[in-house]
Structure 1
């Protein structure tokens, strides 16, 4: 099969238009059209339905586009491996993690990394969807469970627990609960049941709700839960990694917490020797080590 024709097909399928694909490929519309017709003839099939608003892939076209998309990602991966060396940091590092961890723990620490490596380029993708690392949707992932994808290098970073926190002003105004049944006199702030979250957190919230909580505020991420707590709206279910950066949080019902949630850093085997991955990994590991040491010291005071 002609690789050049496949490249042109992929561009057309991606753009949905001969004209737009031609602009990307720096080819005329007629040249692009000839290559598509030749590819269809060689495969003895129709790859596109043509209509006034553009092109739509046929079932056979969808199959071929899936294949060329996988090929394109693998070529990008190979290019990244070629560019990376042990001496240089070239290109962009795409890091994915959850909204809560990325916004509340990781992002505030990145100035230290940029201070040491001012030319580093990071694309921080905060979402609950698990991106496909082997297919290079991202280079590095930090997730609240061990990744199940094959061909990944994994490193366990720490464990997280969901706990109850409130502001000092809220507790002064509404009192501090001594038992779970006392939650009936307070407002509980948590992630809503339909939002993506770790199972341990959802289970804790479900258990808390069984204690006749009178008023609730549900948010679809931990940043919103934190803002509710800091603004004296109630008692929030939050991850314990926040306590160092937000000392104004007061832990409520210290015997109540979720099961442990493991946090893992992972990246594809093929990026084992990538300098930019190495720099980021070592930075995160060192920050977590220092974070845990400071927490331990604070507890001993």
Structure 2
């Protein structure tokens, strides 16, 4: 099968328009149309339904588009591996992680990575949806559970727990809860139980909500929970890694916490030799080690004050 025709078909299917595909490929609309028509004739099938507003894939077109999309991902992976044969770390690195971890822990530390590798271009994708790494939706992921796919290289980075936090100003005004029953007299700020989150955090929130709490504020990510806590709105359920960068926030009810949540770094087997992946992995591991040391020091200092 003619690879050039497949390339043009893929561009048309992705754009939904002969004109837009031609612009991307630097070809005229008529040239693109001829190639698509020739491919349809070679396959003896219709690949697009044509109408005034653009093109829609037929069932046969969808099958071929799935194949060309997979081919395109493989070509991108091969290109990345070829580029990574160079000694220097450069180019695009697509990193996916949760909104909370990405915005509260990872993003504030990225200046150190850019300082070391100024030619690196990071595409940071923050969402709760688990992206498909083997299909190259991202290059590397930091996930709050062990990845289930067999063709991924994974490394456990650390474990975190969900705990209760409030500002000293809030505690001074509203009093400090000492038991889980005391939570009913405070406003609880947490992720919405219906929002995507790790099961350990959801279990702790559900346990707290059984206390007939008078007022709640639910947010769909931990960044929003933290900002609400810092604004003095109430007591928030937050991951324990926040205390390093927000030392003014105090933990309340110290004996109440979630079960451990493992944090894994994962990337496709085919990117094992990627220097960009290696640079990011080493950077995260170094920051995790520094984070642990800082957290221990903070916890010891707070214990001494008590």
Normalised by the length of structure 1, the TM-score is 0.97
Matches within 5 A, 1:171-210: 171-210=171-210
Q: Structure 1 stretch 18-27 or stretch 70-79: which is displaced more?
A: 18-27
How far apart are the structure 1 equivalents of 2:16 and 2:183?
Answer: 56
How far apart are the structure 2 equivalents of 1:273 and 1:108?
Answer: 27
Matches within 5 A, 1:83-162: 83-85=83-85, 87-162=87-162
Partner of 1:53: 53
Q: Deviations over 1:116-151 (max 9, x none)?
A: 222221111111111111111111100100111232
The number of residues matched between the two structures is 301
How far apart are the structure 2 equivalents of 1:279 and 1:144?
Answer: 21
How far apart are the structure 2 equivalents of 1:51 and 1:119?
Answer: 44
CA 1:42–1:188 in 2, change beyond 3 Å: closer, same or farther?
same
* Residue aligned with 1:297, SS: helix
Matches within 5 A, 1:237-252: 237-252=237-252
Would the aligned equivalents of 1:153 and 1:267 in 2 still touch at CA under 8 Å? yes
How far the C-alpha of 1:86 sits from its partner, in A, is 5.8
Q: Deviations over 1:229-266 (max 9, x none)?
A: 11111000000000111111111111111111000001
Q: Structure 1 stretch 266-275 or stretch 162-171: which is displaced more?
A: 266-275
How far the C-alpha of 1:271 sits from its partner, in A, is 1.4
Partner of 1:229: 229
How far apart are the structure 2 equivalents of 1:18 and 1:200?
Answer: 49
Partner of 1:214: 214
How far the C-alpha of 1:298 sits from its partner, in A, is 3.2
Partner of 1:164: 164
Gaps of 5+ in 1: none
> Could you say what the CA RMSD is over the residues aligned between the two structures, in angstroms?
1.1
Matches within 5 A, 1:250-289: 250-289=250-289
How far the C-alpha of 1:195 sits from its partner, in A, is 1.4
Partner of 2:78: 78
Gaps of 5+ in 2: 302-306
Q: Deviations over 1:149-188 (max 9, x none)?
A: 2321111000010000011010110111111111111000
Answer yes or no: is 1:62 the counterpart of 2:62. yes
Q: Deviations over 1:97-125 (max 9, x none)?
A: 10000100011111111222222211111
CA 1:285–1:114 in 2, change beyond 3 Å: closer, same or farther?
same
* Residue aligned with 1:45, SS: coil
How far apart are the structure 2 equivalents of 1:89 and 1:183?
Answer: 50
Would the aligned equivalents of 1:204 and 1:258 in 2 still touch at CA under 8 Å? yes
